[in-house]
Amino acid sequence: MGHMWIRVDWGVMQIELQIEFGGTRYQPQKSTDATVNADEEEQIIGLDGDSTRLPCRVDAAKCGDVFLITWSKFVNDMWKRVFIYTANRQTALLDLADAGSTRADFYIKNTTAILQIAPLRLTDEATYKCDVTYTKGGCPSLSYAQLIVR
């Protein structure tokens, strides 16, 4: 009977696969393409009442078309979704959606997806996470931004 195990290392997010069959261990070569550095966090400083842009890395050339992008905000020790993008819909949620209007605008320029927030509020200060899902599988993409509002 064969065995398979997977190890995940969260420092630099890596997934390692090893298969054992008939007493022989098989381990695929490590690929830098499968490594996402979760420690990379861009710091953005904005002014209360002004606008700011939160960047998110996108690699459609390598990973296929963008299927879904979600932006989440880290609040009270948990991630809360604040914006969802699909090819045919953009939806602002929670405090980015004010009584029928939105404080959020979204666009993709080259290899960066931008979430623009205006007007910026002191309560917008937080860590934000952008999660990109592509039409091709096996292409993880997380981006983090620390927003500081003054």
| Annotated domain spans of the chain | 3-32, 40-149
Q: Which residue has the higher pLDDT, 7 or 141?
A: 141
pLDDT of residue 34: 35
Query: 78: which strand partners?
Result: 75
Determine the average pLDDT of the residues in 1-9.
44
pLDDT of residue 119: 94
Is domain 40-149 given the CATH code 2.10.25.10 in the classification? no
Cα(5)–Cα(98) distance, integer angstroms: 47
pLDDT of residue 56: 94
Q: What is the pLDDT of residue 60?
A: 86
31 pLDDT higher than 60: no
Mean pLDDT of the chain: 79
Residue 54, pLDDT > 80, answer: yes
pLDDT tens, 79-136?
999 999 998 898 889 888 876 678 999 998 888 999 999 999 999 999 999 999 998 8
Place of tokens 């963008």: 66
- 63 compared with 17, residue with greater pLDDT: 63
Q: Give the Å distances, CA to CA, from 90 to 61, 115, 141.
A: 22, 11, 19
Neighbours of 6 (CB within 10 A): 8
Q: Which residue has the higher pLDDT, 122 or 10?
A: 122
Question: What span, in angstroms and rounded, lies between the C-alpha atoms of 102 and 25?
Answer: 54
Among 28, 41, 33, 84, residue whose Cα is nearest residue 59: 33
